[in-house]
Chains A and B, each alone.
Chain A
Amino acid sequence: MSKLEKAALGEVATDAAPPDADAFLSVRDLRIHFDTDDGLVKSVDGVSFDVRRGKTLGIVGESGSGKSVTSLGVMGLHRSANAKVTGEVWLDGQELIAADPDDVRRLRGRKMAMIFQDPLSSMHPYYTVGAQIVEAYRVHHDVSKKVARTRAIEMLDRVGIPEPNQRVDSYPHEFSGGMRQRAMIAMALVNNPELLIADEPTTALDVTVQAQILDLIRDLQKEFGSAVIMITHDLGVVAEIADDLLVMYAGRPVERGPAESVFAEPRHPYTWGLLGSMPRLDREDTDRLIPIQGSPPSLINVPEGCPFNPRCPYADIPKDNVTRTVRPELTEVGSRHWAACHMTQEQRERIWTEEIAPKL
């Protein structure tokens, strides 16, 4: 029995979903806890998902729900003394959590790469954009600087930087926000990574530039067949780009499934809340938005039972106060579609069709 199968059968406490045999990336029961002066921060607490080549997984959730920590965990970037990482991360058949950190480092930038909301966090201000792309390329390819420079120019051109022959010698601050984001994408993609993780890559950008960047990611993915994880708090962005969706709340997965089903038949009150909170250009304007009451919990004192219970209007529907005492597990609510809520399937279907959907 492979580790993956074992994970699926035994150790996975919170996620009944079986692993996808064709997945390029398979994450099982990932937990990342930080020991801090204030207490144990359970930033990621039992997250599982799969991404196939050529497909995009969208991860959504409010700020502080553990999206970035999840992605850094996949990249093997939480190896500090105060971080406790458990679970399994399978990349193309290789498990990374237990792997030698040096092996994981060699995969970074080549097999998997990441782009961030703030390009300046991954680009050095004192080196030209070209020099940084050249460096990223030569770490993994034994080629001359000249060859690498040609490759850098080619990548800048590919991501739509005008006059790449000249711009290759510019410094990051000489680029506009959108151009820097493109340059960072060029750098992340210079080694044709098979997994690309994009952490809120368009959050700071105008919608017009966002549309350009999403288009670019989509095109590059089509060309190279990479697996993509798109992290965002914008449901519009995931609807545009994601095949599958993972909704996170307080470090935990609350709903997961094909994007179409999660949007058409969401089965978790938090997902309903997100949908009700947003004004939508594609619908008649509603009189009032339907916000989620309160605000997200501290990850040091996650509420007992269902972490969403203090904000959930339906917390009293499940019997015996179970919502406040027992942590709900992800259960299957549709084809490849799971949600973690104590309400029965019938209760959720009824609330969605009668109370929520008509108001959206």
Chain B
Amino acid sequence: MSDEKEVSLPAQSDGATLTKGTGAGEPLLKVTGLQKHFPIRKGLLQRQTGAVRAVDGLDFEVRKGETLGVVGESGCGKSTMGRLITRLLEPTGGKVEFEGQDITHLGVGGMRPLRRDVQMIFQDPYSSLNPRHTIGTIVSAPFKLQGVEPEGGVKKEVQRLLSVVGLNPEHYNRYPHEFSGGQRQRIGIARALALNPKLVVADEPVSALDVSIQAQVVNLLDDLQSELGLTYVIIAHDLSVVRHVSDRIAVMYLGKIVELADRDSLYKAPMHPYTKALMSAVPIPDPKRKAAKSERILLRGDVPSPISPPSGCRFHTRCWKATEICKTTEPPLLELKPGQQVACHHPENFEDQAPQDTVLLSVAKEAATLVADEVLAESAATSAAVAAEVGESADPGARGTARPAPTDPQPTDEPTEPEDDRQESTDK
């Protein structure tokens, strides 16, 4: 339905120069106000009685040659977002532009050229491959669908693709069940690469794999990106994997992006309380640290239902910093620091955006009981409400203009007794 038919950008970026850390490329994909509401229908007449607001207003760009990581708890809308930007799902609202072209409502015909440029890799290497088809048939399917005859013939091209992803080209005639999980994921990747795409959206590409195989696939994705100049959107719930693969990261909560930042800024000084909570929950493979888990934030319960999400900031029912404004007013996603956008009234590591609100909600007080003292002390420096609660005499500058607390997230290696204060905070 767009009038802008022109595609002004060059067909394929020369990837060799677009590797990690080369700074911002131009946007390849741009998403504005993107929404997907799944209708809930009831009764004989299948009347719509409500909607699952799976994706509820996303704004972001994916830049050429970069990897955008997407994290968040399950049910936050990550997969729905992936299917929207690859146009496997029709958006309810908002706009998706690819290389400047509005593709939001393109029909099957209009989408055909785009199907080559945008590919998706799925989580489950078992169910995403048809068990009755040979690897050759599976990897060559995109050529058939697009009516493309690769140079040198289909078979030769498929064999080339198989060797690109580290599989034996001689295995052309084998069936998926003859391959291990990691190999099947490679087959999925070969299929995604067949048409020389520009954007690859990978939904949990390594979560079903064992850690040793996970590393093989992560390295493969990395190599392919630098060799082919691919742009990735990688959805994953494993925050360590996401940090490793991404240039920038979007944190989603209940259909919204709550923080979007450069990888290093995000991991060094997360600004959204939810980001901070997610990171603190990642188990660290160092037993010495279990004794001194001072960055711990335990979130209560599960993600609320996207059918009737909480008012204001959707995280306010689980946040230890929530005040009245959090309940009434939705915080906009703002670039508070260069390269770091966050949607929060009382961000961490930054000055309070609503310093007039000095009283914690009672749910926030409860949530605070599951937050380590060290974290509360940090939060107190950026929030008068938290400061009042923990009884810290907030220093004169703390209200409103608090400097980001000099955060040193590394706990000491002191071998303290594991009987720590955790007990107290979780006992009822």
Interface residues of A (CB under 8 A from B): 62-63, 157, 162, 176-179, 206-212, 214-216, 218-219, 222, 233-242, 259-260, 263-264, 273-282, 285-286, 288-293, 295-296
Contacts and interface: CB of A to CB of B under 8 A. Distances in A.
A285 B222 CA distance: 14
Interface of B is mostly: helix
A176 B219 contact: no
Given A233-B211, A290-B215, A208 B299 contact: yes
B301 A281 contact: no
B222 A288 contact: yes
B204 to A, nearest CB: 12
Range of interface residues on chain B? 35 or more
Interface in B278-335: 278-290, 296, 298-302
A206 B73 contact: yes
B222 A281 contact: no
Contacts of A295: 180, 182-183, 212-213
Interface stretch (B139-147, B236-244, B348-356): B236-244
B284 A162 contact: no
B423 interface: yes
B212 A277 contact: yes
A209 B298 CA distance: 9
Contacts of B215: 276-278, 289-292
A262 to B, nearest CB: 9
A236 B282 contact: yes
Contact of A260 (B212, B287, B296, B423): B287
B240 A239 contact: no
A289 B218 contact: yes
B210 interface: yes
B422 interface: yes
B423 A219 contact: yes
Interface in B195-217: 210-216
A123 B285 CA distance: 32
A291 B166 CA distance: 14
A309 B71 CA distance: 37
B24 to A, nearest CB: 19
Contacts of A208: 73, 277-278, 281, 298-299
A239 B240 CA distance: 15
A134 B289 CA distance: 39
B302 to A, nearest CB: 5
A177 B73 CA distance: 12
Given A210-B281, A289-B215, A239 B286 contact: yes
Contacts of A233: 210-211
B287 to A, nearest CB: 4
20 contacts: A178-B301, A178-B302, A207-B73, A208-B278, A208-B298, A211-B281, A216-B426, A219-B426, A222-B423, A236-B282, A260-B287, A273-B212, A277-B212, A279-B218, A281-B240, A281-B267, A288-B219, A289-B244, A295-B180, A295-B183
A359 B286 CA distance: 15
B427 interface: yes
A297 B3 CA distance: 57
Contacts of A285: 243-244
Contact of A263 (B214, B222, B287): B287
A286 B286 CA distance: 17
B298 A212 contact: yes
Given A176-B302, A179-B302, A277-B212, A259 B287 contact: yes
B298 to A, nearest CB: 6
The 8 A-B residue pairs with the shortest CB-CB distance in the complex, in nearest-first order: A236-B283, A291-B215, A279-B244, A277-B215, A292-B212, A289-B215, A207-B281, A211-B281
Nearest to B299: A208
A280 B283 CA distance: 10
B412 interface: no
Given A206-B73, A281-B267, A235 B243 contact: no
Nearest to A275: B285
